[in-house]
Chain A
Amino acid sequence: MRIELIRRPEHSRTMVVLSPIIAIALTVIAGFFVFLAIGVDPLQALYIYFIEPLTAGWSIEALFVKAVPIILVAVGLSLCYLANNWNIGAEGQFAAGAIAGSVFPILVPGWNGPEVMVAMLVMGVLGGMLYAAIPALLKIRFGANEILTSLMLVYVAQLFLDWLARGPWRNPEGHNFPDSRPFDGGQVLPVLVGSDVRISLVFAVVAVIVAWFVLRRTLTGFQISVLGQAPRAGAFAGFSQNRMILLTFLVSGGLAGLAGICEVAGPIGMLRTTVSPGYGFTGIIVAFLGRLNPIGIFFAGLLLALSYLGGEGMQIALGISDQITRVFQGMLLFFVLACDTLIYYRIRFVRTGQHPAGEAKHGRA
């Protein structure tokens, strides 16, 4: 038996909506077998992973706390990917934002009025933007592959953060823990609802709405998608490829940086050797699961936040490594990409050796 792909004359609108749902269902089914393989009761495990976090008030709050940085990162990345710029270094830009944003609360600890937060947020955004400008400029100026340079910079940023938190920025009164001094007063983001959902949720929602508006209603948004899908057509229309590389990298870097400073000035409350459990990489998955559409990304971000909570729940309830989260996230991205094929192709199972004669020629990719 052989599987044949047949290009649809027009992309399927039903599948655009259905494919993420099918992907999620397939991930749950695959998860069933993963749990079976590692020797836990699959139904109980699936319940702990996917349902239990939604049953308590505090965990729904935690869901939003985790979703905020993921959504901020993913919205920026989606603009990059739409323009065919492969920034995969958001994890590094996140760290750069966290570091730059922490300059004031750590070096000028006495400045803790409400106005310091504005300075911290601006610094965080700038830090992420400047850090993302490096791979963008290397691509524009030298043609260096942005996938590899942006990823290499992740390691550099993480090592630099590690040095800061253990070395010059360590809290002298911190009993030798590799943490900075805890932020206080205006250096901490105000709480919006509950105990830990902060004003950063508003930033994420605003980012989603602005990105949606830019993509749907502005010339810049149009240029992004033209240059992404048909660079030659874009060039003939006079759109600058280089300008778009820089713009999308700066925006995604800035949003990742904002997520970084919101994390250290919010749930963490200080600078540490690590400030993210992989939000920068999870953002990539969320961007795709959300179909590179800001509104889709909002919901995809909540789902991936659930995957973190589920992983933590598994560790507590069943003693399984929380690395299960990354397995689930990887599987989900696999299935999302596979299901996207259904939008443009029909799948047909053909028995080997039988070639239907006289069939119309199909397009090729």
Chain B
Amino acid sequence: MNSPTTFTPVGQDELDWLGTDPVPTRPYYDPEWFELEREAVFRRSWQQIGHVCELPENGSFIRRELEVLGASLLITRGKDGEVRAFHNVCTHRGTILVDEEAGKRSTFSCPYHMWTFGLDGGLISAPDFEAFHVTKAECALPQVACEVVGGLIFVHFGKPESSLREWLGPYANKLEMMPVARATTFSEYVYDINANWKLTYDNFQENYHLRFIHPSAAGPVTSPDNPFAYPTAYDFHGPHRSQRIWTKPDMDPPTGVQAMAFQRGAVCAMSDGILGTETAKDYLGLFPNFFLFGSPMQHFSHTVYPIAADKSRGVIRLYWIGEDETPSERFAREYFMATARDVHTEDRAVIERGHKGLASGALEYLHFQTQESLCRHLFNMVSERVEAYRAEKEGVPA
């Protein structure tokens, strides 16, 4: 019997522009380098921090902590329906304004001296305000640039050089086409990891490890002509990158409870109109720390939040359209969430081992092969920004 396809991996010639040199290890564990990344990468990039479904009504709010910039953010949906982000800091004397993680309010009052702010960040009232030497207009909450594409909320702590949509380029349209743009709820799990954010992130942008670290999940998706389940294509736009996932054409059908979950889940995905979409095999990596996989059945995002040079936090969300409409849908969603969690569990353990080894200083360089080019691209993008920032600080050209 003939093999249904012959897989051809992406050739090195397509990726030569990224370089082939060994990559220095120090940026993956050095605290000094991490300090530079805070400013060069995270203060100067759009960062994904939430989804509009978390702000379902005018007056809805969420609080988000971004440890990499030491920031607490208050994100609101105003009376006008607009999503805005502010530093969650009372403008009187800097007290953190809101403690709750999420909720619905029309005003926010600081517990310290009862300064009260509106959903648009304006100072509405403050006791004995006449005794101050400033106007209310000057006391609005400090606003942070905030834009939405595909339902995903992004913030920028600096002065953005371009709009979010321009920055994302063609990936903005892809996001708009994906189920996330229509999502109304999600499943979420979170992990803390003793590893650098880039090392953590890199794990999720190469398939080389799949058959070794995920023997149960990867077995059915590999074949003799693609034993590592390498993707069919890579794509780059500015600091962002993506891969197109390969699927085994003659994959054995699932059995047992897994088969039931897929069968019931497929019915729901079909009724949501998200089966067979053009973006179903796209796996986007948006700079600096966000992934989104287009799969309609397991449509997950993964954000790797840096905390310190050797600490990160991963937040994984499976986005869904509509609440659980039927018990079958509830079953399928819980199963898919648990399946993804199993796979990410296996990743987490091996990433920590990687960090420990690199942080020992035993190696000066690490090595990326052709099919780890997305990792190399992230290194190049971070490195360019850190070097430019360092040169800027030192007043010399990069």
Partners in one complex: no
Residues of B within 8 A of A (CB): none
Residues of A within 8 A of B (CB): none
